[in-house]
Amino acid sequence: MALMITDECINCDVCEPECPNTAIYQGPEIFHINPKLCTECVGHFDVPQCVEICPVSCIPKDPNNVESSSDLLIKYEKLVNKAEA
């Protein structure tokens, strides 16, 4: 499942550069995660880097974008292949 950023976000900007898929972006009020690009760092790291670095723990799993680990790996592979093309 993709991750999401909640309203508790303090706009500290530490998560955005940590995302290997550039899924995190600045919204009008807080940062957001594009679920089409978020793989929870599957294929890159053992744990989601944004979750690891977030000082306010405002990045839970997104219940509206449920994906299995194998789904996330497939998404990662598609993203990598698209970037290489």
DSSP per-residue letters across 24-78: EEE-SSSEEE-TTT--TTTTT-SS-HHHHH-TT----B-TTS---HHHHHHHHHH
Give the model confidence (pLDDT) of 24-54 as tens digits. 999 999 999 999 999 999 999 999 999 999 9
Does this model's pTM top 0.75? My answer is yes
Tokens of 72: 């996330």
pLDDT band at 82 (very low <50, low <70, confident <90, very high): confident
Amino acid found at 70 = S
Q: What is the CATH number of domain 16-84?
A: 3.30.70.20
